């Protein structure tokens, strides 16, 4: 019976070539779209699942939908400090783009100079020293905790280190800016793509 169905289908497809072609194209597009949607859904479901203790970590955001603005990922860093008094919060990570500090009265330089060549630091953030307890980060050179514990120290991603110096073994090298300099204290591996964390430069 299966052979009869196949022979009938082949005979009909030969007689109605255009109709068969349209069906095959439509079916192929449908299957491709389903696969793309499934892959996208899978990628969204595993975002930050590789981070330490991911099931017990929550991101605090600012909800301004009541005034028509929407939800913002960035909030005043003083807000988490107040929340830390809650008994269910065991530990707190604060991380912020350095551009945001311009509005808090504590601006940080993001234009640096290496051998008379100027660079703008990419994806530069300040963070608390306990970053490694929240983010799965692999340190290639130096001490990340030290870099996030003292002013004027800096940690660079593998890609950013190569962009600035052409190498990753750059511990102790200087990045000069107007009025001072940063010293490279750590270099870390590039972060995975499926994460909310998106930084190449870290400072205290």
| Same structural domain, 108 and 183 | yes
| Same structural domain, 18 and 107 | no
| Same structural domain, 27 and 113 | no
Instruction: Provide Rg for the chain, Cα atoms.
Output: 26
Q: Answer whether residue 199 shows pLDDT above 90.
A: yes
pLDDT of residue 170: 95
**Token pair recorded at residue 25:** 């194209």
| Same structural domain, 96 and 182 | yes
| Same structural domain, 198 and 99 | yes
How large is the average pLDDT for residues 56-64?
75
Q: Answer whether residue 64 shows pLDDT above 80.
A: no
How large is the average pLDDT for residues 90-102?
79
Backbone φ, ψ for residue 140 (5° rounding): -90, -40
Q: How many domains does the chain have?
A: 2
Q: Does a structural domain hold residue 138?
A: yes
| Same structural domain, 117 and 37 | no
Q: Does a structural domain hold residue 176?
A: yes
* Contact status, residue 140 vs residue 158, Cβ threshold 8 Å: yes
Q: What is the pTM of this model?
A: 0.73
| Same structural domain, 38 and 127 | no
* Contact status, residue 77 vs residue 89, Cβ threshold 8 Å: no
pLDDT of residue 15: 76
How large is the average pLDDT for residues 116-134?
92
Q: How far is 96 from 198, CA to CA, in rounded Å?
A: 11
How large is the average pLDDT for residues 130-134?
91
| Same structural domain, 128 and 189 | yes
User: Angle, nearest 10°, between helix axes 17-45 and 2-15?
Assistant: 110
* Contact status, residue 72 vs residue 64, Cβ threshold 8 Å: yes
The DSSP element (H or E) to which 42 belongs, if any, is: helix 17-45
CA angle 181, 182, 184 (to 5 degrees): 145
Q: How far is 97 from 84, CA to CA, in rounded Å?
A: 21
Q: How far is 47 from 66, CA to CA, in rounded Å?
A: 28
Q: Does a structural domain hold residue 80?
A: no
Q: Regarding predicted confidence, which is higher, 186 or 72?
A: 186
Residue range of the domain that includes 102: 88-203
Q: Does a structural domain hold residue 191?
A: yes
| Same structural domain, 25 and 104 | no
| Same structural domain, 113 and 22 | no
Q: Does a structural domain hold residue 190?
A: yes
pLDDT band for 1, please (50, 70, 90 cuts).
low
Q: Does a structural domain hold residue 23?
A: yes
Backbone φ, ψ for residue 74 (5° rounding): -95, 140
Residue matched to tokens 């100079």? 113
Q: Does a structural domain hold residue 109?
A: yes
Q: List 97's β-bridge partners, or say none.
A: 125
Q: Regarding predicted confidence, which is higher, 105 or 130?
A: 130
Q: Does a structural domain hold residue 171?
A: yes
């Amino acid at each position: 019976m299966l052979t009869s169905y196949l022979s009938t289908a082949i005979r009909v497809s030969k007689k109605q070539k255009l109709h068969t072609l349209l069906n095959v194209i439509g079916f192929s597009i449908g299957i491709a779209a389903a696969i793309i949607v499934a892959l996208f859904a899978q990628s969204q479901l595993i975002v930050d699942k590789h981070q330490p203790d991911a099931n017990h970590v929550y991101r605090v955001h600012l909800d301004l939908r009541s005034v028509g603005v929407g939800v913002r990922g960035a909030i005043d860093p003083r807000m988490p400090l107040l929340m830390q008094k809650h008994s269910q919060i065991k530990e707190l990570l604060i991380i912020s783009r350095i551009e945001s500090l311009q509005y808090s009265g504590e601006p940080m330089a993001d234009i640096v100079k290496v051998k008379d060549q100027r660079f703008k630091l990419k994806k530069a953030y300040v963070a608390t020293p306990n970053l490694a307890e929240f983010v799965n980060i692999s340190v290639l050179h130096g001490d990340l905790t030290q870099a996030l514990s003292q002013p004027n120290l800096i940690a660079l991603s593998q890609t950013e280190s190569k962009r600035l110096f052409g190498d990753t073994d750059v511990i102790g090298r200087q990045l000069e800016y107007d009025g001072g300099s940063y010293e490279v204290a750590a270099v870390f591996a590039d972060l995975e793509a499926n994460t909310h964390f998106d930084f190449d430069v870290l400072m205290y």
